[in-house]
Amino acid sequence: MTKSDLHVAESYRQRLLISRADIQRRVTELAQQISKDYAGRIPILIGVLNGAFIFLADLVRQLQIDCEVDFVKISSYGCGKESSGAVRMLKDLDADIRDRDVLVVEDIVDSGLSVQWLRRYFEEREPRSLRVVAFLRKVGAARVPYEVEYIGFDIPNAFVVGYGLDLGQRYRNLPDIYVLEEVSPP
Ligand code: 5GP
């Protein structure tokens, strides 16, 4: 049995959405673009925990420039599938980002609330520049206007797990991205 054969949960059906090969190809492209755009600079990449840890790890290893890494943790979904809408900082930056080139690394943009909140939060710390790279963006899910400079994949408005993304803290270790569809009881 391979990791991709894991059954994610009794009440859900999993459907492969993005394979690990497609993920690696796209991450390489993003890293090339970012390396070009930040040539001659040393950006600080800020991973948004927990979901972005795998994407960030893959991305930085493909960069052809020097960079620094820091993390923040914010609350959003709790442990279920529905967003509470409220964002709180649970673990703040260690680094001082004033006058730095900041690249925020997000797992997925859904309503846009987190990314909009994070942009404001970092903007107040007066970085030299501020951009966001999101591995996934859900099409048609925006509840607020937001800006994201780099996108890995646009995906349908469905709940996904794998490659860092969880359901109740599980399935982050799946190497591919799956859509979870609820199976209705007979
Ligand atoms: P937003 O604030 O844009 O609505 O949501 C952003 C956060 O919600 C993401 O960083 C992620 O933690 C969580 N999230 C949104 N959609 C999904 C999804 O389809 N699957 C998982 N596992 N988390 C999601």
**Is the CB of residue 9 less than 8 Å from the CB of residue 37?**
no
Q: Closest by alpha carbon to 104, among 181, 54, 43? A: 43
Q: What integer is the mean pLDDT of 1-26? A: 78
Average pLDDT, integer, range 159-185: 93
φ, ψ for residue 51, nearest 5 deg: -60, -30
pLDDT at 180 over 80: yes
Give the model confidence (pLDDT) of 112-122 as tens digits: 999 999 999 99
Q: 5: pLDDT confidence band, cut at 50, 70 and 90?
A: very low
Residue nearest to atom 9 of ligand 1 (CA): 108
pLDDT, position 121: 96
User: Per the residue annotation, which of 58, 107, 110, 176 is the catalytic one?
Assistant: 110
Q: Where are the domains of the chain?
A: 20-157
Judge if the beta carbon of residue 111 lies within 6 A of ligand 1.
yes
Question: Could you name the CATH architecture of 20-157?
Answer: 3-Layer(aba) Sandwich (3.40)
CA distances 80 to 29, 32, 159, 186, Å, are 32, 35, 11, 23
Of all residues in the chain, the percent with pLDDT exceeding 70 is 88
Reading the block at residue 153, the tokens are 């994949």
pLDDT band at 42 (very low <50, low <70, confident <90, very high): very high
Is residue 176 annotated as part of the catalytic site, yes or no? Answer: no
| Longest distance between any two alpha carbons in the chain, whole Å | 60
**Could you tell me if the CB of 104 is within 6 A of ligand 1?**
no
Task: Give the pLDDT score at 156.
Answer: 97
155 close to ligand 1 (CB < 6 Angstrom): no
